[in-house]
Chains A and B, each alone.
Chain A
Amino acid sequence: MDTGLLIEKSVLVLIIFLISLGIAAYQTYFERKLAAWIQDRVGPDRAGPFGILQPIADGVKMFLKEDFIPKDADKWLFIIGPGIAMFTSLITSAIIPWGTDLELFGRTITLQVADFDIGILYLFAVLSISVYGIMIGGWASNNKYSLYGAIRASSQMISYELAMGISAITIIMLSGSLSLTDIVNKQHGMNWNIFYQPICFVVFFICSLAETNRAPFDLPECENELIGGYHTEYSSMKLGLYLFSEYTAMFISSAIIAILFLGGYNFPGMDNFSGNTLAVLSVIVFFIKIFIFIFIFMWIRWTIPRFRFDQLMHLGWKVLIPVAMVNLLITGIVIAINEGWFNEFM
């Protein structure tokens, strides 16, 4: 076993973990600031200059609140629920290629924790198990509103996974690989998938909104029907973990959208740079793309009203899945023609 590789990967994991948590914390601040800006208010401005210490104050508040477990709750599952939610939203970051290779101390460091040749399937595996955190937490609370929230969350996630998977298959067909590194490298320069697959992009983006339980798909925590939804009974840092996992998931899914459709760390004119300059620039470009998507996520939340639940199901099953399938079919035919499968008939 190569010790250097072990150290390098451990450091990378630690950095990604800290960055994810830091970005998730500051997303709460930017979400409030953005909401204030859209609604013509001031927003948080008490803690530090421009309220920039607000996430830290919130975190301390969360930790110091009373940690309450309801009497009839299933104690073991009640505790494990938020943990699963946080865990599943963090582990997706393992397969994300953050930038081109970096050269440090005479070693070539790949800015990616693990390069599977099944990268995108791993992503869908994590997505499909991420529903457990909400389901288990909602059920274990022994509260009907929590249970309604959990059931809504799981049926919504199962429904939108399908359309998401079909639109991802379209991208896999274009790239000819399941590895995220290959998918990114195929989009070298300005050769981004969004220009070839705009419909696929829209479907995937809507599904990501639904998968992260963001507005207008935040039915699981719809407060005027379900109080707090699946986390009604939660308090203290357990509630904090649920809220935090949503923001982490938003960050990670922005990264995934940037990889699949906006070329990840690729940018026009990247051939003019090389070595470490290119690595640093590529990471910066990647994060700019992520922040653009996070902004759009928040912008949508404060602009579009919430769906009704039957409308949500209608959109998922009767609009997004057929659109994604037709798109898949057309892409397949075009690829077959380009490969020359029909040459003998024409």
Chain B
Amino acid sequence: MSLQIISIILGSLTIASALMVVLSKHPIRSVIFLVVTFFFISSLYILMNAQFLAIVNIIVYAGAIMVLFLFVLMLLNLNKTAEPESSLMVKLSSLIAAGGLFLVIIAALKDSILLSKTYAPQNEAIGTVQSLGNLLFSKYVVPFEVSSILFIAAMVGAVLLAKREKQIID
């Protein structure tokens, strides 16, 4: 029971901070609210006994990717006067697009909401590093290796792009 109350509080805080990402005018504040949102999502993972997922979410998203976001935004020197005024048409069309996406998501999740009542962990050890590692290296070893090859390919691509630029300067 108390678990449910905690999850409701955390869930509403997650939604509130996610809304603040969109609603705050300043891009830097948006990024900071996004970091806060990731923290709340991690806390929900912990409630579901997925400690490893929670901590990796913080390391990768809140720690690495958002720092790069902040890095870029700080160098751009955005302020209120530099922001271009968007016309009514742009605003209206973005509203319609976002609303449409929202409808699709709601329609897709319509049935799953009923199922989510039984999310409470049946097995204590289900989210631990050990069970996750066992699964990743036995049942899901092929997808795991394929995705790591994808990562390496992306990294090699990035290095190549950086290298080519240097040769032009020379």
Residues on A facing B (Cβ under 8 Å): 74, 76-77, 116-118, 121-122, 124-125, 127-129, 131-132, 135-136, 139, 147, 150-151, 154-155, 158, 178
Contacts and interface: CB of A to CB of B under 8 A. Distances in A.
A289 B70 CA distance: 37
B32 interface: yes
In this complex, the member of B56, B58, B59, B130 whose beta carbon has the largest number of chain A beta carbons within 10 angstroms is B59
Given A121-B59, A128-B58, A151-B74, A135 B128 contact: no
Contacts of B41: none
Given A118-B52, A136-B32, A151 B75 contact: yes
B71 interface: yes
Interface stretch (B60-68, B86-94, B136-144): B60-68
A129 B32 CA distance: 11
B51 interface: yes
Interface string B88-121: 0000000000000000000000000000000000
Contacts of B52: 118, 121
A17 to B, nearest CB: 21
Nearest to B39: A129
What's the dominant secondary structure at chain B's contact region?
helix
The 5 closest A-B pairs by CB, nearest first: A128-B63, A125-B58, A121-B55, A125-B59, A139-B74
A128 B59 contact: yes
A154 B31 CA distance: 16
Contacts of A118: 51-52, 55, 129
Given A77-B32, A121-B56, A128 B64 contact: yes
Interface of B: 26, 28-29, 32, 35, 51-52, 55-56, 58-59, 62-64, 67, 70-71, 74-75, 128-130
Chain A contact residues, majority secondary structure: helix
A129 B63 contact: yes
A158 B67 contact: yes
A289 B64 CA distance: 31
Contacts of B67: 128, 131-132, 135, 154, 158
A265 B150 CA distance: 43
Contacts of A76: 29
A77 B129 CA distance: 36
Contact of B63 (A117, A125, A150): A125
A254 B70 CA distance: 29
A167 to B, nearest CB: 16
A158 B64 contact: yes
B56 A135 contact: no
A147 B74 contact: yes
A132 B35 contact: yes
Contacts of B55: 118, 121-122, 125
Contacts of B35: 129, 132
Contact of B28 (A77, A122, A125): A77
Contacts of B70: 132, 135, 139, 154
